[in-house]
Chain A
Amino acid sequence: MIPSKGEFFNGLAAKHGLELQKKFEAASVAVCGAGGLGSNIAIALARAGVGRLKIIDFDKIEITNFNRQQYFVDQIGLFKAEALKENLAKIAPYCEVTAEVAKITEENVKELLKGFPIVCEAFDKAESKAMLVNAVLENMPETYLVSGSGMASLNSANLIKTRKITDKFYLCGDMESDVDAGNGLFGSRVLVCAAHQAHTILRIIAGEFDI
């Protein structure tokens, strides 16, 4: 038996406080990318009781994802956005999740992110990250943007930080560990960055804008 919406809300409010829980429930966040960062960020936000999530990803689940991405073995070959929506339904049944199987481009970014005042960049390729960040900052000045850069390697987890770059643009990561420089990608360190991003988003929802 799945608990009722009210029971779920009360359970979360017991941990977070009623006022904050109302804010989380009223929030809408778009997560761009459903890989190591995005799948973990989406789960953290859904567990916190964020009311509405949009997951945008064009990719399918493959065997090399399992060190860090929140999928099950029987989901190999499925689209990540759709599989993540299924998994989120089992974790947070009253979170309204939209799965969009799409590649975000400069042309469609505004349309895809419309109605989401908080956007999370959770791509893997540096060029895609830069494209999304530039597109959001240039075209959607009212939007809060939380991005991740630099979480590869087995370097110390303590090097991963959240920085506030402009008024509405936050950047999490160590800013320099590049997979393209031959660094491995370790689930534990990717999760640290994902947690920074998810936590920054919760703080924005709560009205806490400092880092």
Chain B
Amino acid sequence: MTKINGKTEAVAGLSIAEIVEKFGYNPARVAVELNGNIVPKAKYAETVAGENDVIEIVSFVGGG
């Protein structure tokens, strides 16, 4: 199963764009790593999660 932020999720076959939307993240506030590599913003729609992929979605919050 695919892992997102350490949790097992049934998302294999979905694109990064779909995953970001499914979990309620604001695409303008995230950085997404797939197996340790950044997924370029321009490739969210075409990058598809596989069964053994490890995805990290960093969602930034305001303040500094």
Contacts and interface: CB of A to CB of B under 8 A. Distances in A.
Given A122-B64, A124-B62, A175-B61, A165 B29 contact: no
Interface string A138-156: 1000000001111110000
Interface string A149-174: 11110000000000001110101010
A171 B60 CA distance: 10
Interface residues of A, number: 39
A177 B63 contact: yes
B40 A138 contact: yes
A133 B28 CA distance: 12
A129 B60 contact: yes
A183 B61 CA distance: 11
B64 A130 contact: no
Interface residues of B, number: 19
B10 interface: no
Nearest to B5: A175
Interface of B is mostly: mixed
Contacts of B63: 36, 124, 150-152, 177-179, 183, 185, 190
A178 B62 contact: yes
Main secondary structure of the interface of A (DSSP, over half): mixed
A180 to B, nearest CB: 5
Contact of B33 (A148, A152, A165, A181): A165
A149 B61 contact: yes
Given A126-B29, A130-B28, A152 B37 contact: no
Given A130-B31, A165-B56, A125 B37 contact: no
Given A137-B38, A138-B40, A166-B38, A130 B33 contact: no
B42 to A, nearest CB: 9
The 4 closest A-B pairs by CB, nearest first: A178-B61, A124-B64, A137-B38, A152-B63
Interface of B: 26, 28-31, 33, 36-38, 40-41, 56, 58-64
Given A130-B28, A134-B41, 18 more contacts: A36-B63, A37-B64, A123-B64, A127-B60, A129-B60, A130-B29, A138-B41, A151-B64, A152-B63, A165-B58, A166-B36, A167-B36, A176-B61, A177-B61, A178-B61, A178-B62, A179-B61, A190-B64
